Structure 1
Amino acid sequence: MSEEVDAVTVADLGAVIRTTRKRLGMSVADLATRAGVSFGLVSELERGKGNPSFSSLSRLAAALDMPLAALVSPRADDAMVVRGDQRTHIPVAPGTPASMRVVRELLTPRTALVIQLIRSTLPPGFSNEEQPFRHLGTEAVTVESGVLIVVHGERRVRLAAGDSITYPCSVPHWWANGDDGETVVLGAVSPIEP
């Protein structure tokens, strides 16, 4: 019985490490190097296996720019409900300039891998044109407030509050804040692409 609980705990831990690492745009090798742990340890944890030491978990949490408690906290309530005051904040890579520091709040449970709902607050002047995204999946975005510029391949779209767009993520795409103040965006991401 306890082995089954441990396996679930390691699998849950691995899922958090994998999703956070991917959101930061790091490879397994990048995370291992940054944390000062072996490639094999990270790979094994992401597959839900292994028995990491406290020291290794501390290093991984620091490398993912998250508190250790957030990495290893019990997730009983994560099954379905995310309370407004307990949202997971997706970390920003260290050294990111203020104009690129998007506040991203995960509105779905941390371990939900089929779909993720993220609330992003873009600072004035934000644009990731120099580092467009390209990955598998489908994204649907709704502007809550402000103005969002979305460039998907060759297509450029200006979205105001209440406007939405859905696109396959395998095409290079980037966002820019088209407003003088903050722009708030709700985005749903699925690993499935039509």
Structure 2
Amino acid sequence: MISPDPAAGPADDPAADTDALHVAALGATVRVERGRRGLSVAALAERAGVSFGLVSHLERGQGNPSFKAVQRIARALEIPLATLLAGGEGDRMVVRADERELLPTDPTAPAEQRVVRELLTPRLTSTLQLIRSTLPVGFSNEAQPFRHLGTEVVTVEHGALLVVHGERRTRLLPGDSATYTCSTPHWWANDASEETVVLGAVTPFEA
């Protein structure tokens, strides 16, 4: 009979396995939410007042962050602590109309820049996101165009949308769609005298 190695950890420890799963789920949520906000690991760590290593290890499902550190990370990501701790729990298929997550909006921004963005796909869907955006009258992000990897398709539900992709300018009316690669600088503007509602789907892959 072989005696167990006293230096080895307990084999098949259900509590240890559960803790590891919780940390992995928490780390995956942090990684997705950080990416959604366009923050680097270093930027999130600085904003939260925690170390780079803590965030890096957590996103890889490693370490044992303190409750205080998790609170700081939630605050830096501008999401409720309960949402962050929920990790991978929840329905990965259905998002009910009254359960849509609102993506963060800068409360100090001018009224015409406060876009209401509703996430229509499950929170941890990382390869496809569908977002319903309500653009106030006068909205434009021409001063800060987007540029990232991926492919996006947008469809106007209501109003009119000006889409500028590189040098091309396109005005979309209700029912119109546009598909474009996101690595080219692009921006939107509400081109109507009323709110414009847009459905936008984006993947991290370039078509």
- Please give the TM-score of this superposition, normalised by the length of structure 1: 0.92
Kindly indicate whether the alpha-carbon contact (under 8 Å) linking 2:129 and 2:202 is maintained by their aligned counterparts in 1: yes
Identity across the alignment (%): 64
Kindly indicate whether the alpha-carbon contact (under 8 Å) linking 1:150 and 1:174 is maintained by their aligned counterparts in 2: yes
| Structure 2: distance between partners of 1:192 and 1:65 | 27
Q: Which residue of 2 aligns with 1:35?
A: 48
- Return 170-179 or 89-98, whichever deviates more: 89-98
Which ranges of 4 or more aligned residues in structure 1 deviate by more than 3 Å? Answer: 1-8
1:124 has 2:131 as partner: no
Which residue of 170, 173, 180 maps to 1:157? 170
| Structure 2: distance between partners of 1:66 and 1:92 | 11
Which residue of 31, 46, 60 maps to 1:18? 31
Kindly indicate whether the alpha-carbon contact (under 8 Å) linking 2:54 and 2:63 is maintained by their aligned counterparts in 1: yes
Q: 1:94 to 1:35 in 2, by over 3 A?
A: farther
Q: 1:2 to 1:86 in 2, by over 3 A?
A: farther
Would you say how many aligned residue pairs link Structure 1 and Structure 2?
Answer: 194
1:74: how far off?
5.8
Which residue of 105, 130, 133 maps to 2:146? 133
Structure 1, residues 134-176: CA drift from partner, whole Å, max 9, x if none? 1111111111111111111111110111111111111111111
Structure 1, residues 100-132: CA drift from partner, whole Å, max 9, x if none? 211111111111111111111111111111111
Unmatched tracts of structure 1, length 5 or more: none
Structure 1, residues 35-89: CA drift from partner, whole Å, max 9, x if none? 1111111122222222221111111111111111121126433321112111111
Which residue of 45, 66, 81 maps to 2:79? 66
Kindly indicate whether the alpha-carbon contact (under 8 Å) linking 2:29 and 2:88 is maintained by their aligned counterparts in 1: no
- Please give the TM-score of this superposition, normalised by the length of structure 2: 0.86
Unmatched tracts of structure 2, length 5 or more: 1-13
| Structure 2: distance between partners of 1:7 and 1:114 | 24
- Return 181-190 or 4-13, whichever deviates more: 4-13
| Structure 2: distance between partners of 1:95 and 1:31 | 20
Larger Rg: 1 or 2? 2
